[in-house]
Amino acid sequence: MAKIKPSKGAPYARILGVGGYRPTRVVPNEVILETIDSSDEWIRSRSGIETRHWANDAETVAAMSIEASGKAIADAGISAAQIGGVIVSTVSHFKQTPAIATEIADKLGTNKAAAFDISAGCAGFGYGLTLAKGMIVEGSAEYVLVIGVERLSDLTDLEDRATAFLFGDGAGAVVVGPAQEPGIGPTVWGSEGDKSETIKQTVPWTDYRSGEVAKFPAITQEGQAVFRWAVFEMAKVAKEALDAAGITADDLDVFIPHQANERIIDSMVKTLKLPESVTVARDVRTTGNTSAASIPLAMERLLATGEAKSGDTALVIGFGAGLVYAATVVTLP
């Protein structure tokens, strides 16, 4: 019986570079109030959101991804030709096939990199990061590009008072590459499909195509149920990720949760008993909820503003539709 030759990859992996792209149009709460009965004070108190970015016709999922990826590749100090894998997490690329990752890989100038899309909602960046780490350690790629990108304005019902103010557009990307010591900790991830109805698309595309419904599908959610789940269950997952990495909250420099809602972020900080010295990402205030893009966008902003620095130890956690989640500890690039 023949023996298969073992793979030879790097001993460990880490994030080497990060980049982000926010659409040029900034949308304040006043614009949202044109279609829902609410107030700026209510939106801010419920979510922390003051503004969000909405893409124009030219700022496609691919275009935003390419802009963010170019920055991440430059930040990593490598060339696009060295990228061996492109993973794109998105729920707002409206072609079932081919994967948008293939177009992005080509336009960036990679050398026929493996390319595929994943659909894991707001946990998509964590899922992609875990897959990239596996590819590098296994040896199937030396560098992998992980992109979280959304045009959620295309899936927002502006008359839905519960969600109209939540969503924004943008793209965040990181380059993951080889390392001689751990830079991405064990991932704590999973799903709770019995709660899948709490965040969902309003109707299937087929209902819209057949004319059974006239309104374009949108994202809807049961706000209170999602809030309770995120506050009580995701703090447990975050703690598990710290334990898996062999550190405590006192060892953290930075906390980068999914930017869904500032009240959720505040509750997690309190439950985890994070020291005041820990920098907490609050990109949600000006970027809104960008689903899979929110963690890399928040990471990029913290590094750009100097609130976080290269080498810092950060806890990242994403959670959303599915319901799915993924948490890990990383060393910032």
CA dist 48 → 44, 207, 251 (Å): 4, 35, 27
CA distance linking residue 192 with residue 228, whole number of Å: 14
Instruction: Say whether 289 is catalytic.
Output: yes
Q: Which helix (H) or strand (E) holds 23?
A: none
Instruction: Say whether 122 is catalytic.
Output: yes
CA distance linking residue 134 with residue 137, whole number of Å: 5
Q: Which residues contact 107 (CB under 8 A, 6 or more apart)?
A: 62, 66
Contact 145, 17 (CB under 8 A): no
Of 29, 53, 261, 289, which is the active-site residue?
Answer: 289
Q: DSSP letters of 255-322?
A: EEE--S-HHHHHHHHHHHT--TTSEE--THHHH-B-GGGHHHHHHHHHHHHTSS-TT-EEEEEEEETT
Contact 199, 226 (CB under 8 A): yes
Instruction: Say whether 258 is catalytic.
Output: yes
Q: Which residues contact 332 (CB under 8 A, 6 or more apart)?
A: 15, 253, 254, 299, 303, 308, 309, 310, 311, 312, 313, 314
Of 29, 53, 93, 258, which is the active-site residue?
Answer: 258
**Strand partners for 14:** 177
CA distance linking residue 132 with residue 264, whole number of Å: 28
Of 53, 93, 122, 261, which is the active-site residue?
Answer: 122
CA distance linking residue 21 with residue 313, whole number of Å: 24
Indicate which residues carry an active-site annotation.
Answer: 122, 258, 289
